[in-house]
Amino acid sequence: MATIASELNKQKITVTIPVALLNRLDDRISKRQRSNFIAEAIAERLALEEQVAALEETAGLWADKDHPELADGEAIDRWVSTMRQNWTLSVEGSSDHGNTTD
């Protein structure tokens, strides 16, 4: 049923692209798959554009002086190791469901 719902949420549009680009598309993608391919390509490009916009919006928010635990490679390694250890302890602790053994 998901296919039916997605078919209902589509709209046909007209776009103009260079002939050489269309030829490349036709060489690789069947005409029956053209719309899906183009939609996926647009979605991928928009995701990249949105990531760039997010990076530009947050540029300058990070200050090295506020994060001495990440000052160099060794510090980062220690921080990652601590985070992994805490995560492992947390996961192991949650598996016993409150049961304690002596």
pLDDT digits (tens, 9 = 90+) for 22-76: 999 999 999 999 999 999 999 999 999 999 999 999 998 888 888 888 889 999 9
Q: Which residue has the higher pLDDT, 24 or 101?
A: 24
Given this model, what pLDDT does residue 69 score?
A: 83
The reply to whether 87 and 70 lie within a common domain is: yes
The reply to whether 27 and 52 lie within a common domain is: yes
The reply to whether 56 and 76 lie within a common domain is: no
Least confident of 5-9, 19-23, 69-73: 5-9
For the chain, how many structural domains are there in total? 2
- pLDDT-derived band at 88 (thresholds 50, 70, 90) equals confident
What does the angle CA 54 – CA 43 – CA 14 come to, to the nearest 5 degrees?
125
Q: Is residue 25 part of a domain?
A: yes
The 3-class SS string of 41-79 reads: HHHHHHHHHHHHHHHHHHCCCCCHHHCHHHCCHHHHHHH
The reply to whether 56 and 66 lie within a common domain is: no
Q: How far apart are CA 64 and CA 45, in angstroms?
A: 31
Q: Is residue 101 part of a domain?
A: no
Give residue 81's domain range.
62-96
